[in-house]
Amino acid sequence: MNTNLAHTKEQTTINLIADIGGTNIRLAQATAKLGTNTRDIAINDIETYQCKEFSSLADVVAHYIDVKELNNLAINACFAIACPVDNDLISMTNLPWQFSQNELKQSLNLHSLRFINDYTAIAMAIPLLSEQQKIKIGGGESIAGKPISVCGPGTGLGVANLVPLSLSGNEQWHCISGEGGHIDFAPVNEIEQQVMNFIQGIKKRVSYEQLLSGYGLEQIYQALLFINHGKEITTVEDKLTAKDITANALNATCTVCEQTLTLFCDVLGSFAGNLALIMNSQGGVYIAGGIVPRFVDYLKLSDFRARFETKGRLSSITEQAPTYVITEEQPGLLGAAACLL
C-alpha cells in the first residue's frame, strides 16, 4: 500500500476514508490504479485525531476537510466505524457521539457517504494484502476463490467473513459480518473449565470475547491467580492490565502471566478453527486486532495451530486452511478504500 502520494490541486473528486474507533479516528484519501488482475490502492494524507478532542464526528471530518483544503471538491466518502451501521441513526458504543448518516452527508456537503462496520473494512482489506502485510502461522495452503474468515482480539472480539461472488462475469468479494465473538465459550480441558467457572462467578454469561480481548486477558490472569494461589485481586496494585500481562509473559518475569498468554493463544486457536469449520475457510483464517501482532513469535511457539487443526473427523478442513496474522498498520483504512473504489 502506497501511503506517500501527495494531494494535487488538479483533482476535482476526492475519495475520503476513515477508520473510527472509540479512542482515535484516522482520516485519509484514497486513489486506485486499475490493472488487468489487481487493483493497486494508494492511501495518502493520513491524519490521526483523538476523538475526545472533538464534540462530534462532523467536527473532526470538517476539520480534516479544512486543513487539507478540500472544501471546493466533490467528496465521495466511506467510513469504517466500530458499531452497527444498519440504521440511519448511529450511536457509538464507547463515545457520546450520535448522528444521522443522511444529516452528516448534508452538513459536510459530501457527494456520497457510506458507513461500514470496522470488521467489514478489515475483511475487505484481506484480498489486497501483500506477503509483507501478513505473517503465516503454521501449515496449510490457501485455495483461490474460497471463503476467508477474520477475527480480531482487541477491545472486543470482532469477526467477519468474505465469500466470493461472480456478478456479470466479474469476480468480487462479499463480506458477511456478525457478532461471532459473542458465541458461547467452549472449554476443551480442565484448566479452561476452571477458568470458565471463575468468570461465570463474575459474569452472567461466558462468551469467547470474555477471554479473547484485552479485558479477556485480564480475566484469564485473575482466574489463574485464584486457581493457582487462591488469591483474589483486591487492590489496584494487584491488578495488571492486558499490556502488563503480555509484557511480563514475553519477558518471562511472571509465571501466571506466561500461563495467561499461553491459554489465550490456545483458545484463539480453537476459536479460529471453529470459524474455518463454519465457513469452510479454505482461503484462510486471518487474525487482526491490536493485541496479537505484539507477540507473533510467542503465538508461533504456542499450541495455536495445533488447537486450530484439532477438529476430530473434520480436521482435514482445518489442516488445509492456512492461518495468518495481519501486520498491516491500517487495515481499516485499506478496507474502507476497497469498498469505496
**Other CB atoms within 10 Å distance of the CB of residue 87:** 9
Residue 45 marked as a ligand binder: no
Query: What values do phi and psi take at 232, rounded to 5?
Result: -105, 145
Residue 23 marked as a ligand binder: yes
H or E element at residue 335: helix 331-340
Q: Distance between terminal CA atoms of the chain?
A: 14
Residue 22 marked as a ligand binder: yes
Residue 32 marked as a ligand binder: no
Residue 18 marked as a ligand binder: yes
List Cβ<8 Å contacts ≥24 apart for 263-266.
263/191, 263/192, 263/195, 263/211, 263/220, 263/224, 264/153, 264/211, 264/212, 264/216, 264/217, 264/220, 265/298, 265/299, 265/302, 265/303, 265/304, 266/192, 266/302, 266/303, 266/304, 266/307
Residue 21 marked as a ligand binder: yes
Query: What values do phi and psi take at 152, rounded to 5?
Result: -145, 105
Which residues are annotated as part of the binding site? 18-23
Annotated binding site for ATP: 18-23
